C-alpha cells in the first residue's frame, strides 16, 4: 500500500515536470502552405497606412515576427540581430541579380509578437523569430521558426525567395547588330558583359522602353510589355547614319533642319537616314534658300552653291504719298524701297485718291536695283455755278470759298454739299456730284427772307406775334414763315391793339401802328365804380392795388364803427325807457345814473363812426383825383401796315376802327 502511494507521487512529480517543460517551450502552430495570408494594416516607408492586400500581384512579402518582451539589453540585441538578418537576406538575393529589382519586388516587414497581426499568423508565446514568405498571389509559400542570430542566413530561405522572384519576374533576350551597341531599359544602362545574344533577367512585370545606341548609327527604340514569368526575344539591327555636307556660300549662313537651327556654313552633320526640310538664311542681303533632301545610309549629301543677292525695287510718285501695291499687296506709301522680293516679273500699281492709277510690269534680277517713277494724273471735273441774284458766297462741305457766283470750279470727282448765301435771302443748299472730265451745272434762285417790321408811335411798345417771342418796337422779325398771325401791341398808358395780319412770302412786310392813350373820362368812371379800377385800366397796377386795399379797409372800418354805434344807441334807449318808468325815488336815481352811463359811450361811438365815414369818403375822392390827373390825354392817330406793293392804314378809336387800302401804281 505504501509502495502504491509512492508510485503515485512519482507520477505526479513527473506530470508536473512535463507540464513545466511544456509551458516553457515555444508555442507556434504555423499556417498551412498555400493558405491565404491574413490581411492586416501596416505602415510603409513613407509613413502611410496600407493593407497587405494592396501589394497582391505586385510584390513578394517576407514577414518576420520578433519578441519585444525581453530585458532591455537582450531585446535591443535581439532586434539588432533581426535587422542584420533581414539585411543579409537582401544582400544575398541581390548577389544573384544582374538587373536587380529586389527593393521593388520584395517587401520585408518586421512585426512584434505583441502586435495584432501576430495572432492572425498564430504566433504567440516565446517564439523568436517566425518567418513567413508570401507569394505575389497572397498565398503562404514557406514558413519557418528559429533564432538565426550570430549565424549565417539559412540558404533555404534565400533559395525560396529567389525561386519565387524568378517565377514572378520576366526575362528578355536581345540579339544586337552591331553587337557592341549600348542597351538602356527605361534609361537604365544594362551591362551585357560583351555577350550577344544576351539575356536580361529578373525584370519586374510592366511596360518598358528599350533603347539601343551606337555612335554613327540611328538610335533604335522599342516599347516592350512584359508579364509575370514572360521570356521574350528581340532582334535589333541598327542602320548606319548618312552625311550632310553644306558648303553654301557665303560662309556663316544659318542652316535649319526641319525648322530647328543646326549651325552655320560650312556644316558637316551625321544624320539618321530619311527626308529633311532644309532652309539656309543670310540676313546680309541674300534670299533664303529652302528645299528637301533625302539622307541615305552610309551616303554623303552635298550642298554647294552661291546664294542669290537681294533684288531692290524703288518706287517714287508725283505727287508723293501714294500707295504702292506689288502683285496686289500693299507695300506702303511712296517713296518705297523694298528689298528681298522674289525674283522675276511683278506687277507694280501706284494709286492715290482723286488720281488715275499707274501700273507697270517690272522684272527683278538678283543684286540689281530697279526704279519706278509714277506720274499720277489727277482726276478733275468742272462745277459751273450761277445764281439769281448773282454775287452769292459759295460754301462747299461747310467750307467757305473766295469765289462768288457766277463761277466755274475745277474739282476732284465726288459728292459735295453746295451752299449759296446772300444777306437777307434764304440760303440755297443742294447736293452735287462731280464727275471726272465732265461739267456739272448748278443754277440757283435765292428767295428773299420773309420778314415783318413793326413800328409804333410812340415807340417802345411790346409786340407779340402769335407764339413768337416778345419784341420791342421798332422791331424786325425774321425769318418769318408766311401765313396768318395774331398781332398784339401793348404800351403802358395806351390802348392795347389786337389784329389779325397776313404775311406775304419772300417779302419785307412793314407794319406802322399809332397807339391811342387811354382817356381820363373812361378812367374816372372806372375809378368811380370801384376804387383802383381806373388806375388798373391805366396800367398803374401798384397804385390800383393800393387804392383798392385802402378803400376796402376804410369801408370795413366804417361798417364796424356803424355796428358798434347802433348797439350803443340801443343800450341808451333801454336806459331812457327804464328811467321814464321808475316809480320810487331809489329807482329814479338808479335808472338816471344808468342812463348817464350809456350816454357817454354812445357819443364816443358816434364820433368814431363819423371819423370812419370821413376817411372812406376822403379816400374815394383821392382815388378819383389820382385817376383823373395821372392819365395822359392824346388825340387819335392812325396805324399803318405796308408791304412792298400796298399799305394798310388802321385808325384805332374808342368805339370804331376805320381801314384804308392804298395800292401802289
Q: What is the pLDDT of residues 283-322, one digit of tens each?
A: 888 888 889 988 888 888 888 888 888 888 999 999 999 9
- Pair 199, 273 in one domain: no
Any residues with CB less than 8 A from the CB of 643 and at least 6 apart, and which? 504, 507, 508, 509, 510
Domain at 109, CATH number: 3.40.30.10
Is residue 385 within 8 A of residue 406, CB to CB? The reply is: yes
Beta strand spans in 23-169 (E): 27-28, 41-43, 49-51, 60-66, 106-112, 123-124, 130-134, 140-145
Q: What are phi and psi of 157, to 5 degrees?
A: -70, -40
73 vs 68, 69, 147, 150, CA distance in Å?
11, 11, 17, 16
- Pair 625, 645 in one domain: no
In a domain, 6, yes or no: no
What pLDDT does residue 72 have? 44
Cα(142)–Cα(400) distance, integer angstroms: 114
In a domain, 18, yes or no: no
Burial level of 252, CB count in 10 A (0-12/13-18/19+)?
exposed
Cα(566)–Cα(51) distance, integer angstroms: 128
- Pair 296, 397 in one domain: no
- Pair 49, 163 in one domain: yes
- Pair 36, 128 in one domain: yes
What pLDDT does residue 620 have? 85
The b-or-e profile of 47-64 (16+ CB within 10 A means b, else e) is eeeeebeebbeebbbbbb
In a domain, 177, yes or no: yes
Is residue 340 within 8 A of residue 318, CB to CB? The reply is: no
Domain at 408, CATH number: 2.60.40.1120
Cα(120)–Cα(112) distance, integer angstroms: 12
* Domain count for the chain: 7
Neighbours of 70 (CB within 10 A): 15
- Pair 193, 281 in one domain: no
- Pair 49, 185 in one domain: no
In a domain, 22, yes or no: no
In a domain, 614, yes or no: yes
Of 445, 460, 485, the last residue of a domain is 445
**What is the per-residue DSSP string for 442-463?**
EEEEPPBPPEEEEEEESS--EE
Q: What are phi and psi of 432, to 5 degrees?
A: -125, 145
- Pair 80, 162 in one domain: yes
> Torsion-angle region of residue 216: left (phi > 0), alpha (psi -120 to 50) or beta?
left
Q: Which residue has the cell 512585426?
A: 111
- Pair 125, 32 in one domain: yes
In a domain, 7, yes or no: no
What pLDDT does residue 98 have? 39
In a domain, 369, yes or no: yes
- Pair 35, 164 in one domain: yes
- Pair 74, 158 in one domain: yes
- Going by C-alpha positions, the residue among 227, 271, 86 that lies closest to residue 161 is 86
Neighbours of 365 (CB within 10 A): 12
In a domain, 2, yes or no: no
What pLDDT does residue 520 have? 64
**What is the per-residue DSSP string for 271-286?**
E-SEEEEEEEE-TTTB
SS3 429: strand
Is residue 448 within 8 A of residue 472, CB to CB? The reply is: no
Of 445, 469, 484, the last residue of a domain is 445
* Angle at which helices 72-95 and 155-168 cross, to 10°: 50
- Going by C-alpha positions, the residue among 216, 307, 219, 300 that lies closest to residue 255 is 307
What pLDDT does residue 221 have? 87
The b-or-e profile of 82-106 (16+ CB within 10 A means b, else e) is beebbeebbebbeebeebebbeebb
What pLDDT does residue 149 have? 44
- Pair 606, 527 in one domain: yes
pTM passes above 0.85 = no
In the sheet that 336-339 helps form, which strands lie side by side, from edge to edge? 336-339, 312-318, 369-375
DSSP 54: G
Is residue 203 within 8 A of residue 99, CB to CB? The reply is: yes
Of 303, 334, 355, the last residue of a domain is 303
What pLDDT does residue 534 have? 72
Q: Which domain holds residue 185?
A: 170-237
Sites in the chain below the pLDDT cut of 70: 1-30, 66-106, 108, 113, 125-128, 146-157, 517-521, 537-538, 631-665
Amino acid at each position: 500500500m505504501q509502495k502504491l502511494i509512492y508510485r503515485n507521487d512519482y507520477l505526479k512529480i513527473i506530470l508536473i515536470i512535463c507540464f513545466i517543460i511544456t509551458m516553457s517551450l515555444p508555442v507556434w502552430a504555423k499556417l498551412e502552405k498555400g493558405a491565404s495570408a491574413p490581411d492586416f494594416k501596416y505602415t510603409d516607408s513613407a509613413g502611410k497606412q496600407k493593407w497587405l492586400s494592396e501589394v497582391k500581384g505586385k510584390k513578394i512579402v517576407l514577414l518576420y515576427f520578433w519578441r519585444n518582451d525581453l530585458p532591455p539589453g537582450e531585446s535591443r540585441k535581439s532586434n539588432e540581430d533581426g535587422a542584420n538578418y533581414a539585411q543579409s537576406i537582401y544582400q544575398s538575393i541581390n548577389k544573384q541579380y544582374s538587373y536587380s529589382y529586389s527593393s521593388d519586388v520584395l517587401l520585408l516587414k518586421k512585426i512584434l509578437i505583441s502586435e495584432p497581426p501576430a495572432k492572425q499568423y498564430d504566433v504567440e508565446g516565446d517564439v523568436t523569430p517566425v518567418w513567413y514568405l508570401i507569394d505575389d498571389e497572397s498565398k503562404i509559400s514557406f514558413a519557418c521558426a528559429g533564432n538565426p542570430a550570430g549565424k549565417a542566413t539559412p540558404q533555404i530561405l534565400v533559395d525560396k525567395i529567389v525561386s519565387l522572384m524568378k517565377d514572378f519576374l520576366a526575362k528578355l533576350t536581345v540579339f544586337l547588330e552591331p553587337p557592341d551597341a549600348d542597351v538602356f531599359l527605361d534609361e537604365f544602362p544594362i551591362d551585357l558583359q560583351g555577350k550577344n545574344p544576351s539575356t536580361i533577367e529578373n525584370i519586374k512585370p510592366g511596360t518598358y522602353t528599350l533603347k539601343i545606341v551606337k555612335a554613327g548609327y540611328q538610335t533604335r527604340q522599342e516599347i516592350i510589355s512584359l508579364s509575370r514569368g514572360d521570356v521574350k526575344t528581340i532582334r535589333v539591327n541598327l542602320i548606319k547614319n548618312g552625311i550632310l555636307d553644306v558648303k553654301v556660300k557665303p560662309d556663316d549662313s544659318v542652316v535649319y533642319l526641319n525648322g530647328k537651327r543646326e549651325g552655320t556654313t560650312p556644316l558637316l552633320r551625321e544624320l539618321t537616314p530619311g527626308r529633311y526640310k532644309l532652309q539656309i538664311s543670310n540676313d546680309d542681303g541674300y534670299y533664303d534658300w529652302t528645299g528637301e533632301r533625302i539622307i541615305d545610309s552610309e551616303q554623303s549629301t552635298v550642298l554647294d552653291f552661291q546664294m542669290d543677292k537681294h533684288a531692290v525695287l524703288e518706287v517714287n510718285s508725283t505727287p508723293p504719298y501714294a500707295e504702292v501695291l506689288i502683285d496686289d499687296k500693299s507695300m506702303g506709301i511712296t517713296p518705297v524701297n523694298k528689298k528681298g522680293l522674289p525674283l522675276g516679273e511683278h506687277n507694280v500699281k501706284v494709286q492715290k485718291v482723286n488720281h488715275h492709277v499707274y501700273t507697270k510690269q517690272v522684272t527683278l534680277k538678283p543684286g540689281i536695283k530697279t526704279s519706278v517713277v509714277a506720274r499720277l494724273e489727277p482726276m478733275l471735273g468742272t462745277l459751273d455755278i450761277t445764281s439769281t441774284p448773282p454775287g452769292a458766297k459759295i460754301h462747299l462741305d461747310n467750307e467757305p470759298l473766295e469765289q462768288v457766283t457766277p463761277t466755274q470750279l475745277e474739282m476732284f470727282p465726288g459728292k459735295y454739299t453746295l451752299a449759296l448765301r446772300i444777306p437777307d435771302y434764304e440760303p440755297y443748299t443742294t447736293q452735287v456730284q462731280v464727275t471726272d472730265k465732265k461739267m456739272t451745272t448748278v443754277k440757283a434762285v435765292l428767295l428773299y427772307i420773309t420778314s415783318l417790321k413793326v413800328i409804333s408811335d410812340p415807340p417802345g411798345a411790346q409786340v407779340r406775334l402769335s407764339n413768337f417771342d416778345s419784341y420791342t418796337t421798332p422791331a424786325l422779325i425774321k425769318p418769318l414763315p408766311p401765313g396768318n398771325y395774331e398781332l398784339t401791341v401793348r404800351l403802358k398808358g395806351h390802348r392795347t391793339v389786337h389784329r389779325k395780319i397776313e404775311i406775304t412770302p419772300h417779302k419785307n412786310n412793314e407794319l406802322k401802328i399809332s397807339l391811342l392813350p387811354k382817356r381820363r373820362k373812361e378812367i374816372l368812371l372806372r375809378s368811380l365804380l370801384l376804387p383802383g379800377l381806373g388806375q388798373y385800366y391805366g396800367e398803374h397796377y401798384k397804385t390800383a392795388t393800393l387804392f383798392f386795399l385802402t378803400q376796402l379797409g376804410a369801408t370795413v372800418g366804417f361798417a364796424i364803427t356803424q355796428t358798434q354805434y347802433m348797439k350803443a344807441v340801443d343800450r341808451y334807449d333801454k336806459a331812457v325807457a327804464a328811467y321814464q318808468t321808475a316809480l320810487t325815488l331809489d329807482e329814479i336815481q338808479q335808472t338816471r345814473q344808468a342812463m348817464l352811463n350809456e350816454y357817454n359811450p354812445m357819443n364816443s361811438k358816434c364820433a368814431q363812426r363819423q371819423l370812419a365815414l370821413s376817411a372812406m369818403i376822403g379816400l374815394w375822392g383821392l382815388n378819383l383825383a389820382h385817376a383823373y390827373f395821372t392819365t395822359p390825354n392824346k388825340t387819335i392817330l392812325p396805324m399803318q401796315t405796308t408791304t412792298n406793293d400796298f399799305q394798310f392804314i388802321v385808325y384805332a378809336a374808342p368805339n370804331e376802327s376805320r381801314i384804308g387800302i392804298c395800292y401802289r401804281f
